[in-house]
A and B are shown apart, each in its own frame.
Chain A
Amino acid sequence: MRRFQPGQRKAGPVRLMAIVVTAVTLLLAASTARAAIISVQAQSFNLTASPGYVSVPDGGSIYAWGYTAGSTMQLPGPTLDVVVGQEVTVTLTNALPAAAGNVSAVFSGQQVAATGGVAGLLTQEAAPGGSVTYTFTPSEPGTYLYHSGTRPDLQVEMGLYGALIVRPSAPAAGCTASAYAHAATCYDREDLFLLSEIDIDVHRAAEQQASGPGPMYVVTEPYHSEYWLINGRAAPDTMAAAGTGLLPTQPYNSLPRMHPGERLLLRVVGANREMHPFHHHGNHTRVLARDGHLLLSASDPSKLAGPSLFTILSVPGETVDAIFEWTGKDLGWDMYGSDPNTQQHSCNGNPIPPGGGVAASPGYDAVTKEWCPDHGRAIPVTLPDLSVLTFGGFYSGSPYLGALGSLPPGEGGLNPSAGYTYMWHSHTERELVNNDVFPGGMMTMLIIEAPWVPID
């Protein structure tokens, strides 16, 4: 029965909750739904395509090209955050090496008028040192991709891509934020998962020719990627802070956090050339839209028609918007623990009986989001002795949400608020490496934080 060590927790849920319940309500209300996607909110953008170096977690530094709205090249390009029905102007300046030739940008799903620059096959292009202007008025909200339309086999691989988010002019009725002008797309938080990959051979060849007269001769087939990225970073860098000075050209991270009962909007973008099965542990997602097109029931357009998936198929150039929810429903046991002496808490007002036991009631508790039919049910198995286990860095030492337990020295520590952590990753598991070093690659963690833990 050594499944729990009384007295080794920092605080029981009831005590914590007593302290924080009021504050939690305020914090939740104050959080903005947009906070988790870092973007440039504007209708007019000045982008520059320029060279730089990106870091990969095995210690490598890779020559790359990227768009920036400032002075430092970045991968991916800035997330352009605009409003439907309003004209968008993007002026692109070419600061790439002359050997790279022209550069451009195309915007999926948009009717674009290009002015200035020089003629190219797909669109007007900016010659070295020159610029070009693109104008479009997005007609539908959604998630879109923009990328170079010039020599894309090379320039997209080099990093010239980014996400375009088109927001509805107002949230759908009944919520503070929605992906579309449709109540079924309301969300509490949103995160971007822009998936791409790097074949280092292409980048090395471009680097070697960057100072030459051009045009570059770079072989882009056969293609053998060695690094797999979410929002421009490979794990574990995906989980480092956004904007950290350690990764000056990779400002975006990917570390989704949410509370039980919230709705998390995923914007999944296939930005380069490979397909990825993006598997999200924890629960299914409901697909809202592909390429900015809402999938609605033919017989009742107030209802969704997209599938419910545990693995989102991400294909090159396509975007998927999906809603993820997590509650403790049907866990089968009390996620806050069942010991009335150390884990006393109430569900719909019912305490755990003094001697222990189940105090079931229907529905959720409004504050803790506990599924009350499981209230007071003990975790059904005895966990092994600590001496026979290997511990993950995100393990809090306790199976309970928001609770810390005892761990051997040197273990744990990555999850100080004791959330439930779920790996979100490419299920082409070969892509969970940085070159030949496991783990890494296209992977991050979702953290379900206890209701009293504030999320930025």
Chain B
Amino acid sequence: MTASIGRRWVFGVVALATAISAAIAQESSIRMQCPSATGTDIHPGANNPGIKCGHLVAGDGMVTMANDYTDGELGGKPLYVFGFALTDNFPPGGPAVNDPGYPGWIMTEGTLAANAPAPTIVVDEDDEVFLSLTNVGMAMRPDLFDPHSIHWHGFPHAASIFDGVPDSSISINMGASLSYYYYAKDAGTYMYHCHVEAAEHMQMGMVGNLYVRPRQNNLPNGPPLGATTHVTGNKYAFNDGDGTTRYDAEYPIQMGSFDPTFHDASFNVQPLPFAGMRDRYFLLNGRGYPDTVNPAVLTTTDPLGKVQPSQRVSSLIEAAPNKRILLRISNLNVTTFNTLGTNGIPMEVIGLDARLLRDGDGNNMYYKTNSLTLGGGQSADVILDTTGLTPGSIYFLYTTNLDRLANDAENFGGMMTEIRITN
């Protein structure tokens, strides 16, 4: 294994150096577009919170699974992934976006920096979102020249050019950048992923949380909302008009799963099993239990020896009694349906697929359940009410597909996290 990494390391460095020199030769190929830096406002208006910009890189990296993987040393099983990273998370002190050194910095910091899941993207309704994507290439797979894309899954009224489907439009090659534009007009829980060779790139980890907060959050203090009154600082899942989707704390929970045979085959440049894909790591936000309740960022040493933040999103849910917890649940695994259950705290489903559950005559169609089944590409907004619960008590959010409470062959892991009632 060491020998094979060493050989690939050489290829990787050569590929990287080539890409960087190419980037320097054509400075404009790697860039971030953000009109707010130039004062351009496309849709000015009092109701427009503004322009939000982000710069994602797409490439490869390593993550750590939760089982006690022993191959001569202690530690979790490392798994090769494709994924995204956000430049905001790169070490501070990098060059400005218009600095000639910016493309090289992007390539250097972006190489092997993939996160699982992809960085969470949160915007406000009416925002104009400029999301730039740079393909830094897959350093461990110098034989590949895959483009990448961003698909904002569920985004209504996207033009094909910004929908991220490679067949329908364009996708970006290695060493270059493509900027996407979205006018976020509908609040809700969405998700995003790379749509290039989707069965492969999504199995490999190019999936993440994305949600839009409603404009109702920005109401002035005092107006009545149904039987309640809006108070500055109150947060809602939707523009409900009646305050019924108010929450005190929100958590994105993305179900996913990995087939280590597929990932290892990819790492070792072997044919990929598609029809034979069988996931064995079942995850919430890219981690299996008990890593799901670790509030810290998980790190993994990449094959070049650098310690990289690999899994940033904890799934630990905490709230005091008498609070309302909003879970923004989505499923982006590529092989199966999953059921999430709670013990002791019923889930009130208030939204599906980024839309408030309400009939055409204005009646709320919310329902309470102890289990929620979602296939890939479905989302649900769920409220947990901690009224009357005892501080210090722990509840579980876990898959009731009980065979998936495992990290590969290791029991008491997998798709599970804790809901801790605090003081």
Number of residues in A with C-beta < 8 Å to the partner? Answer: 68
- Chain B contact-residue range equals 35 or more
Q: Which residues between 266 and 320 of chain A lie within 8 Å of chain B, taking CB atoms?
A: 275-277, 279, 281-284, 297-300, 303-305, 307-311, 313
Which residues of A from 372 to 416 have beta carbons under 8 Å from B? 377, 379-385, 388-395, 399, 401
A305, B376: Cα distance in complex, Å: 24
B109-146 with Cβ < 8 A to chain A: 128, 130
Partner of A308, one of B163, B198, B353, B361: B353
A332 touches B183 (CB 8 A): yes
Q: How far is the CB of A359 from chain B (nearest CB, A)?
A: 15
Which segment, of B85-93, B221-229, B270-278, faces chain A? B270-278
**Contact among A283, A300, A331 for B360, CB-based, below 8 A:** A300
Q: Is B334 an interface residue (CB 8 A)?
A: yes
Interface residues of A in 343-381 (CB under 8 A from B): 377, 379-381
Is A429 among interface residues, defined by CB-CB distance under 8 A? yes
Q: Known: A284-B353, A438-B197. Contact between A388 and B159, CB under 8 A? A: no
Contact partners of A225 in chain B: CB under 8 A: 275
A435 lies within 8 A of B359 (CB): no
Main secondary structure of the interface of B (DSSP, over half): loop
Q: Are A298 and B335 in touch, CB under 8 angstroms?
A: no
CA distance A401 to B166 in the complex (A): 17
Residues of the A chain whose Cβ atoms lie less than 8 Å from the Cβ of B412 = none
Distance in angstroms from A226 CB to nearest chain B CB is: 4
Nearest B-chain residue to A415, judged by Cβ = B168
Which of A329, A331, A390 is most buried by chain B, counting CB atoms within 10 A of its CB? A390
Cβ of B337: which chain A residues have Cβ within 8 Å of it? 275, 277
A411's nearest neighbour on chain B, judged by CB, is B170
The answer to whether B170 touches A389 (Cβ under 8 A) is yes
Tell which of A68-76, A157-165, A188-196, A417-425 binds the partner: A417-425
Which B residues are CB-close (under 8 A) to A298?
Answer: 359, 363
Given that A379-B181, A430-B277 are contacting pairs, would A310 and B159 also be in contact in the complex, using a CB cutoff of 8 Å? Answer: no
> Which residues of chain B from 336 to 367 have a CB within 8 Å of any chain A CB?
336-337, 352-355, 357, 359-361, 363, 365
Compute how far the CA of A427 lies from the CA of B274 in the bound complex, rounded to whole angstroms: 14
Complex contacts, A32 vs chain B, CB 8 Å: none
Contacting residues, chain A, for B169 (C-beta < 8 A): 392, 394-395, 399
Interface centre among B160, B181, B185 (most CB of A within 10 A): B160
Bound: A331/B184 CA distance, A: 9
Query: Nearest B residue to A298 by beta-carbon distance?
Result: B363
List, in ascending order, chain A residues with CB within 8 A of B170's CB.
383-384, 389-392, 395
A389 and B173 within 8 A (CB): yes
| Residue from B128, B168, B178, B199 within 8 A of A429 (CB atoms) | B199
- Complex contact A281–B355 (CB within 8 A): no
Evaluate whether A421 and B199 lie within 8 angstroms (CB atoms) in the complex, with A335-B159, A430-B274 already known: no
B165→A277 contact, CB < 8 A:
no
The answer to whether the Cβ of B157 comes within 8 Å of any Cβ in the partner chain is yes
Chain B residue with the shortest CB-CB distance to A371: B157
- Whether A420 and B352, one on each chain, are in contact in the complex, defined by CB atoms closer than 8 angstroms, is no
Shortest beta-carbon distance from B326 to chain A in Å: 18
B42 near A377 with CB under 8 A, answer: yes
When distances are taken between beta carbons in the complex, the residues of chain A under 8 Å from B166 are 390, 392
Task: Please tell me if the beta carbons of A428 and B198 are within 8 angstroms of each other in the complex.
Answer: no
Residues of chain A lying within 8 A (CB to CB) of residue B275: 224-226, 430, 433, 435-436
Give B97 Cβ to nearest chain A Cβ, in Å: 14
Partner of B276, one of A377, A385, A393, A436: A436
Q: Given A392-B168, A445-B168, does the pair A382, B33 have CB atoms closer than 8 Å?
A: yes
Judge whether A394 and B183 touch: CB under 8 Å. no
**How far apart are the CA atoms of A4 and B199 in the complex, in Å?**
33
Main secondary structure of the interface of A (DSSP, over half): loop
Asked if A275 and B156 make an inter-chain contact with CB atoms under 8 angstroms apart, the answer reads: no
Judged by a CB distance under 8 angstroms, whether A96 is at the interface is: no
**A311 B378 Cβ-Cβ under 8 A:** yes
Name the interface residues of B275-306: CB closer than 8 Å to any CB of A: 275-277
Q: Is the CB of B157 within 8 A of A328?
A: yes
Which residue of chain A has its CB nearest to the CB of B40?
Answer: A380
B177 A384 Cβ-Cβ under 8 A: yes
Are B272 and A436 touching (Cβ within 8 A)? yes
Docked pose: A40 CA to B128 CA in angstroms: 49
CA distance A434 to B223 in the complex (A): 56
Q: Which residues of A contact B276 (CB under 8 A)?
A: 224, 436
Q: Report yes or no: B154 in contact with A310, Cβ–Cβ below 8 A.
A: yes
Q: In the bound complex, what is the Cα–Cα distance between A310 and B332 (angstroms)?
A: 13
Please give the distance in Å from B82's CB to the nearest CB on chain A. 13
Q: Is the C-beta of A221 less than 8 angstroms from some C-beta in chain B?
A: no
- B147 contacts the other chain (CB 8 A): yes
Is there a chain A Cβ closer than 8 Å to B158's Cβ? Answer: yes
CB distance from A232 to the nearest CB of B (A): 19
What per-residue 1/0 map shows which CB atoms of A210-231 lie under 8 Å from chain B? Answer: 0000000000000011100000
Q: Is B375 an interface residue (CB 8 A)?
A: yes
How far is it, in angstroms, between the C-alpha of A422 and the C-alpha of B29 when the chains are bound?
Answer: 27
Known A-B contacts A310-B153, A380-B130; the reply to A277 vs B168 at CB < 8 A is no
Shortest distance between the CB of B180 and any CB in chain A (Å): 7
Q: Is A67 an interface residue (CB 8 A)?
A: no
- B363–A420 CB distance below 8 A: no
Contact A313 to B128, CB < 8 A, known contacts A389-B178, A433-B275, A436-B272:
no
A445 x B167 contact (CB < 8 A): yes
Do B359 and A281 have beta carbons less than 8 Å apart?
A: no
With A283-B156, A326-B157, A436-B274 as known contacts, state yes or no: A430 contacts B199, CB within 8 Å: yes
A303-B361, A438-B274 known; A329+B167 contact, CB < 8 A: no
Q: Is A144 an interface residue (CB 8 A)?
A: no
Which of B198, B359, B377 is the one whose CB lies under 8 Å from A310? B377
Also in contact, A423 and B168, with CB within 8 A (given A283-B157, A438-B197): yes
Q: Is B319 an interface residue (CB 8 A)?
A: no
> Are B272 and A303 closer than 8 Å at their CB atoms?
no
Min C-beta distance of A434 to chain B, whole Å: 9
Expressed in whole angstroms, the Cα–Cα distance for A265 and B138 within the complex equals 42
Residues of chain B in range 11-65 having any CB-CB distance to chain A below 8 Å: 28-29, 33, 35, 42-43
Question: Which chain A residues border B202 with CB–CB below 8 Å?
Answer: 429
Q: Does B408 contact A (CB under 8 A)?
A: no
Is B269 at the interface (CB under 8 A from chain A)? Answer: no
Query: Are the C-beta atoms of A381 and B180 separated by less than 8 Å?
Result: yes
| Contacting residues, chain A, for B33 (C-beta < 8 A) | 381-382
- Is A297 in contact with B273, judged by CB distance below 8 angstroms? no
Q: Does B402 contact A (CB under 8 A)?
A: no
Q: Is the CB of B355 within 8 A of A390?
A: no
Are A388 and B173 also in contact (CB < 8 A) when A311-B375, A433-B275 are? Answer: yes
B132 — nearest CB in chain A belongs to which residue?
A381
Q: Nearest 4 A-B pairs (CB), nearest first?
A: A427-B377, A303-B360, A277-B375, A332-B183
Give 27 pairs: A residue, B residue, CB < 8 Å, sorted on A: A224-B275, A276-B375, A279-B376, A299-B363, A303-B360, A307-B353, A310-B377, A311-B375, A331-B158, A333-B181, A383-B161, A389-B176, A390-B170, A390-B173, A392-B171, A395-B160, A399-B159, A421-B160, A422-B163, A423-B167, A429-B202, A429-B203, A429-B334, A429-B376, A430-B203, A432-B199, A438-B199
What residues of chain B have their CB less than 8 Å away from a CB belonging to chain A?
A: 28-29, 33, 35, 42-43, 128, 130, 147, 153-154, 156-161, 163, 165-173, 175-183, 185, 195-200, 202-203, 271-277, 334-337, 352-355, 357, 359-361, 363, 365, 374-378
Given contact pairs A282-B163, A333-B42, enumerate 11 new A-B contacts (beta carbons under 8 Å): A282-B157, A304-B359, A305-B361, A311-B377, A377-B42, A380-B181, A381-B180, A381-B181, A384-B178, A395-B169, A432-B199
